[in-house]
Amino acid sequence: MSTTRSLPTPGPATARRGSPHVLGLAAGLLVLLAVLVLSLGLGARQLSPAEVWHGLVDPNAPGWTAVHEMRLPRTLLGLLAGTALGLAGGVMQALTRNPLADPGLLGINAGASAAVASAAAFLGVSSFSGYVWCALAGAAVVAVLVYAVGGGRGATPARLALAGSALNATLYSYVSAVMLLDTASLDKMRFWTVGSLAGAQPSTVLGVLPFVAVGALLALGLARPLNALALGDDAARALGARPGTVRAAAIVAVTLLCGAATAACGPIVFVGLMVPHLVRALTGPDLRKLLPYCAVLAPVLLLGADVLGRVLGRPGELQVGIVTAVLGGPFFLYFARRGKARA
């Protein structure tokens, strides 16, 4: 007599099992749409949703210039940068097995910042096309250094974190020294260094798009291997994953995402920390669910912070990097203390 049992066919209960995830993503997309409308409507001149729509589609509308030349590039850049930072944060937290890790933990943001600061101070680079390649090169060099110092294919999360923290502190000290010694660079980059969407141009959006797209696809494709890696290297190998290759690919994804976002907006902090940590409470640790939520909700946080900075700073504005730092600092301290109490 055969002992083989047939698998149960999917029934209504099985079909409903994935519906909360889909509904949650749909709700997140609706919230993102609302924040996009707010970002397009708020500024020196407030536009209603109807005026925003006419400003988008009608060249003769009064709001056409404000929407297309200033607010649309800024909003699209916030959407891309938020997606990049959210995905980078989710991948970094999975890679280091630390729910409070930030994309800057491995020094990748610091590497991008150091390269851009050096290019601006010593080579006279001032355009985004120059910044992005410098940022990617700096991020890639630091990523390789961290990976090598952390042990290469035998790297552990703890060794990666320690190597990244050391390089992070060194490089940000270097950036501060360059900016203080070169007044022209300080004047030219003072908004960039705090993190800002204010200088967005259509060329910036088009320049950052391919890097974010490739990094996002790579990050989403790593969801299953990183899930296996969370069980330990031996278990991951048993499940068909190669830990060294997965870690290297994850660092490439984070390099593309963080390098592009940093070149375009400056080193914006805490977005990659807060969003994956909050999303994990909804989805659990499964990256196949967590990363899509991060891609949707991180732009909500970044654009929401940008809108809040415009409202609170009137008639000027607070840079988005300042707002995220003010929001993220207490958040980090609260969860760090709660984790310590649990331990």
The model's pTM is 0.85
In sequence order, the 6+-apart residues with CB closer than 8 A to the CB of 102 are 89, 92, 269, 270, 272, 273
Q: Who has greater pLDDT, 117 or 43?
A: 117
Of 18-27, 133-142, 216-225, least confident by mean pLDDT is: 18-27
Is pLDDT above 50 for 332?
yes
Q: Who has greater pLDDT, 287 or 70?
A: 287
Residue 328's pLDDT band (boundaries 50, 70, 90)? confident
Mean pLDDT estimate for the chain? 82
Is pLDDT above 60 for 6?
no
In terms of C-beta density within 10 A (0-12 exposed, 13-18 middle, 19 or more buried), how is residue 69 classed? exposed
Rounded to the nearest 10 degrees, the angle between the axes of helix 72-96 and helix 287-312 is 140
Is pLDDT above 60 for 16?
no
pLDDT at 178: 83
Q: Who has greater pLDDT, 1 or 304?
A: 304
Is pLDDT above 70 for 41?
yes
Mark 127-136 as b/e (b = at least 16 C-beta within 10 Å).
Answer: ebebbbbbbb
Structural domain count, the chain:
1
Is residue 47 included in any domain, yes or no? Answer: no
Is residue 129 included in any domain, yes or no? Answer: yes
Q: Who has greater pLDDT, 301 or 165?
A: 301
At 9, list the tokens: 């066919």
Residue 311's pLDDT band (boundaries 50, 70, 90)? confident
Q: Are 109 and 263 in contact (CB under 8 A)?
A: no
The whole domain housing 97 covers 61-342
pLDDT at 12: 46
Which tens digit of pLDDT belongs to each residue from 66-113?
A: 888 888 999 999 999 999 999 999 998 888 777 777 776 678 888 888
Is residue 118 included in any domain, yes or no? Answer: yes
Is residue 298 included in any domain, yes or no? Answer: yes
End-to-end CA, the chain: 53
**Percentage of residues in the chain having pLDDT higher than 70:** 86
Q: Determine if residue 268 is left, alpha or beta; phi over 0 gives left, psi from -120 to 50 gives alpha, anything else beta.
A: beta
pLDDT at 248: 86
Q: What is the CATH number of the domain that holds 316?
A: 1.10.3470.10
User: How large is the average pLDDT for residues 250-264?
Assistant: 89
Residue 155's pLDDT band (boundaries 50, 70, 90)? low
Of 12-16, 138-142, 167-171, 277-281, least confident by mean pLDDT is: 12-16
Cα 142 to Cα 13, 123, 221, 227, 263, distances in angstroms: 48, 20, 23, 25, 15
Highest-confidence segment of 214-223, 264-273, 329-338: 214-223
CA neighbours closer than 13 Å in the CB half-sphere of residue 123: 11
Which tens digit of pLDDT belongs to each residue from 183-219?
A: 666 666 666 677 788 878 888 899 899 999 999 999 9
Q: Are 276 and 89 in contact (CB under 8 A)?
A: yes
Highest-confidence segment of 105-119, 131-145, 300-314: 300-314
Is residue 56 included in any domain, yes or no? Answer: no
198: DSSP letter: T
Is residue 10 included in any domain, yes or no? Answer: no
Q: Are 34 and 301 in contact (CB under 8 A)?
A: no
Is pLDDT above 50 for 289?
yes
pLDDT at 4: 42
CA 272 and chain centroid, separation: 5
Which tens digit of pLDDT belongs to each residue from 82-95?
A: 999 999 999 988 88
Q: Who has greater pLDDT, 103 or 276?
A: 276
Is residue 20 included in any domain, yes or no? Answer: no
Is residue 15 included in any domain, yes or no? Answer: no
Q: Who has greater pLDDT, 148 or 88?
A: 88
**Percentage of residues in the chain having pLDDT higher than 90:** 26
pLDDT at 185: 63
Is pLDDT above 70 for 157?
no
pLDDT at 268: 86
pLDDT at 226: 92
